[in-house]
């Protein structure tokens, strides 16, 4: 039976109250590393860990309202520290832990920048945190406290008198939009807003008291933090968790864990579905059991029919029901979900075939037949959650009718008030109380279809890649004209994610006698510095790139020109 309103998150005033009400003996978190290396804690055990963390914070002078930054690997330790900060009335924020895919220079800059913007009073790292990064933490504020040897303080800390009363309107925590190693955009969220969002998710997904969640999602991202930590904590559900790095190395462990722990709910970015349908051996698929799943919610990237179809086809022999794959449009600024598809629909989320040329030229989604030339298939991200409003806005700030493509603006009772300590970004993000998401989409019969990012952010395997970062590395090559490169994301339906293509102009006095050598050098530089791969570099003569009247790259026109010259790139 679904959790009723009288039993759901809305009955609590704060997230701490929700944790206090959890049944002590019920399993809460299972952190899985391998067959012989996993740990499970009950809600009662987790509360004791969190209370010890809160007591330690109190003994070190951490006061309600102080910001606490957590830079720790995925696991029970970072979760209990986060909950401990909530108990103390401090404001926690989880940042990305360093790993081999992150450019060290960019990580150092982002780490210090976030801590400095938050004016953190306490920063907690684990014993394996790289020594050369410690100086960047301490440089954030002369008075910041840094904890490294956490075993000592948790053992010596008294558990009593750890609670600090919070109001529902108080800031509960800060999560970061667009990642924590790049853009410093802290989203401060109140207990009321978070609990309201969790209540809405419970209602739309018909969450049950015996539901259990599987997740490999990082806790510094809203999908992992809200759906796979706050939701089970407030609804008193069990969750089995892996680190993102371990999942990427062994993708089949996701379906293995779902079957072993009889998980019923999971959230994933779109590329995960393609990854699992292609990286797991076909002769192994039948040994997995996905019959327990009620919903896998596909969100965080534009949703694609191909990814969902491939996953359904691959895992139908594993007991996967067709309507298990669901969709959502989510963002940190709204706590998490803006929309959610109907899990009771037997066919899954609605699909809409649009006339491709009309969409491209007139920015209107006119219904087409699947076999019409150039028709494009869009998958709905569902309908708005209760308490939310949406409008589609043109570049001239005019409201658009259903079917017209425009920027998505939202209002809701879960919406944040602004970016923490960034009034400049807050002013840019709002218009008359509406949050300008920067995403493009259209609405048909109340269903929201998201088609991409207004500012051309490239999404590769769930990672947001800023085109300017790639372009800056590319134009360092001496044969390429400074500032004359454009990076584009082009979706690969076989991989279920975008790939990066770059078009660059050669210097006027250069002759591309060694184009392959230039491409190898540039690709290696981008891989080393940004941790991403360029699929192809196209070298062009001077003045080939299309520029706006302001002298900036006109990306959509450049894309069209590139595809016209290289039609093999047209994968729409």
**Which tens digit of pLDDT belongs to each residue from 506-516?**
987 666 556 78
Of the candidates 171, 106, 146, the residue with the CA atom closest to the CA atom of residue 417? 171
Report, as an integer, the average pLDDT of 158-171.
Answer: 70
pLDDT score of 184: 63
pLDDT score of 219: 95
Report, as an integer, the average pLDDT of 332-356.
Answer: 93
Of the listed ranges 83-87, 256-260, 303-307, 456-460, the one predicted with least confidence: 456-460
Question: What's the whole-number average pLDDT of the chain?
Answer: 86
Q: What is the pTM of this model?
A: 0.81
pLDDT score of 129: 85
Of the listed ranges 283-292, 431-440, 472-481, 546-555, the one predicted with least confidence: 546-555
Report, as an integer, the average pLDDT of 438-463.
Answer: 84
**Is the pLDDT score of 326 beyond 80?**
yes
Starting at the edge strand found earlier in the chain, the sheet holding 145-147 runs 91-94, 67-71, 122-125, 145-147
Q: Are 40 and 138 in contact (CB under 8 A)?
A: no
Report, as an integer, the average pLDDT of 339-356.
Answer: 92
Reported confidence tier of residue 383, pLDDT bands at 50, 70, 90? very high
Element (H, E) at 295: strand 295-298
What value, to the nearest 5°, has the Cα angle with vertex 399 and ends 393 and 400? Answer: 85
Please report, rounded to a whole number, the percentage of residues in the chain having pLDDT higher than 90: 55
Reported confidence tier of residue 256, pLDDT bands at 50, 70, 90? very high
* Exposure b/e, 51-83, CB count within 10 A at least 16 = b: bbbbbbbbeeebeeebbbbbbbbbbbbbbbbbb
Reported confidence tier of residue 551, pLDDT bands at 50, 70, 90? very low
Of the listed ranges 175-184, 406-415, 446-455, the one predicted with least confidence: 175-184
pLDDT score of 97: 86
Q: Which two tokens stand for residue 471?
A: 């372009």
Residue 357 CB coordination number (10 Å) = 14
pLDDT score of 180: 37
pLDDT score of 151: 55
Reported confidence tier of residue 536, pLDDT bands at 50, 70, 90? very high
**Is the pLDDT score of 550 beyond 50?**
no
Q: Can you list the domains of the chain with their CATH numbers?
A: 9-244 (3.40.50.12780), 351-453 (2.30.38.10), 458-569 (3.30.300.30)
pLDDT score of 160: 46
Report, as an integer, the average pLDDT of 175-197.
Answer: 79
Distance CA 54, CA 45 (A): 14
pLDDT score of 413: 92
* β-strand partners of 505: 540
Q: Are 118 and 93 in contact (CB under 8 A)?
A: yes
Q: Are 90 and 43 in contact (CB under 8 A)?
A: no
More confident residue, 162 or 94: 94
Report, as an integer, the average pLDDT of 355-378.
Answer: 84
**Is the pLDDT score of 334 beyond 80?**
yes
Reported confidence tier of residue 332, pLDDT bands at 50, 70, 90? very high
Report, as an integer, the average pLDDT of 513-540.
Answer: 85
Element (H, E) at 388: strand 388-393
Reported confidence tier of residue 104, pLDDT bands at 50, 70, 90? low
Q: Which two tokens stand for residue 215?
A: 């997740």
**Is the pLDDT score of 155 beyond 50?**
no
Report, as an integer, the average pLDDT of 340-360.
Answer: 89
> Pairing mode, if any, of strands 351-354 and 447-453?
unpaired
């Amino acid at each position: 039976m679904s959790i009723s309103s009288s039993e759901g998150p809305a009955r609590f005033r704060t997230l701490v109250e929700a944790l206090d009400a959890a049944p002590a003996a019920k399993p809460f978190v299972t952190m899985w590393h391998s067959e012989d290396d996993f740990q499970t804690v009950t809600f009662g055990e987790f509360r004791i860990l969190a209370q010890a963390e809160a007591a330690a914070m109190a003994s070190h002078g951490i006061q309600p309202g102080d910001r606490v930054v957590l830079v720790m690997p995925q696991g029970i330790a970072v979760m209990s520290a986060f909950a401990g900060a909530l108990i103390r009335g401090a404001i926690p924020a989880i940042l990305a832990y360093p790993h081999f895919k992150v450019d060290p220079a960019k990580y150092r800059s982002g780490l210090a920048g976030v801590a400095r913007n938050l004016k953190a009073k306490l920063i907690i790292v684990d014993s394996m945190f790289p020594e050369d990064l410690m100086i960047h933490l301490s440089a954030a504020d002369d008075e910041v406290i840094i904890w490294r040897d956490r075993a000592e303080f948790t053992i010596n800390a008294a558990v009593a008198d750890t609670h600090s009363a919070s109001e529902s309107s108080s800031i509960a925590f800060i999560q970061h939009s667009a990642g924590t190693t790049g853009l410093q955009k802290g989203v401060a969220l109140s207990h009321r807003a978070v609990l309201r969002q969790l209540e809405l998710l419970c209602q739309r997904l018909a969450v049950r008291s015996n539901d259990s969640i599987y997740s490999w999602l990082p806790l510094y991202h809203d999908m992992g933090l809200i759906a796979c930590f706050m939701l089970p904590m407030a609804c008193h559900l069990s969750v089995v968790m892996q680190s993102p790095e371990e999942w990427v190395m062994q993708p089949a462990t996701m379906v293995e864990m779902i079957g072993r722990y009889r998980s019923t709910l999971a959230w994933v970015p779109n590329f995960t579905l393609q990854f699992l349908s292609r990286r797991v051996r076909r002769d192994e698929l039948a040994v997995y059991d996905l019959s327990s799943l009620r919903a896998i919610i596909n969100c965080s990237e534009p949703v694609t029919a191909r990814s969902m179809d491939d996953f359904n086809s691959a895992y139908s022999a594993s007991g996967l029901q067709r309507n298990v794959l669901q969709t959502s449009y989510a963002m940190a600024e709204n706590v998490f979900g803006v929309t959610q598809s109907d899990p009771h629909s037997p066919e899954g989320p609605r699909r809409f075939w649009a006339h491709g040329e009309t969409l491209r030229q007139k920015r209107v989604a006119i219904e087409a037949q699947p076999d019409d030339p150039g028709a494009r298939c869009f998958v709905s991200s569902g309908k708005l959650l209760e308490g939310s409003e949406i409008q589609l806005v043109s570049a001239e700030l005019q409201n658009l009718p259903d079917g017209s493509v425009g920027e998505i603006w939202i209002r809701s009772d879960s919406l944040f008030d602004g970016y923490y300590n960034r009034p400049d970004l807050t002013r840019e993000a709002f218009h008359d109380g509406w949050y300008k998401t920067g995403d493009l989409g259209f609405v048909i019969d109340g269903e929201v279809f998201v088609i991409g990012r207004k500012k051309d952010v490239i999404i590769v395997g769930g990672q947001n890649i800023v085109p300017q970062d790639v372009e800056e590395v590319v134009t360092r090559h001496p044969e390429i004209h400074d500032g004359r490169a454009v990076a584009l994301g082009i979706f690969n339906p076989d991989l279920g994610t975008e790939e990066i293509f770059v078009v660059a102009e050669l210097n006027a006095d250069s002759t591309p006698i060694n184009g392959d050598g230039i491409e190898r050098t540039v690709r290696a530089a981008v891989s080393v510095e940004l941790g991403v791969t360029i699929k192809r570099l196209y070298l062009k003569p001077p003045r080939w790139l299309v520029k706006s009247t302001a002298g900036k790259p006109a990306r959509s026109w450049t894309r069209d020109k590139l595809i016209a010259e290289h039609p093999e790139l047209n994968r729409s």
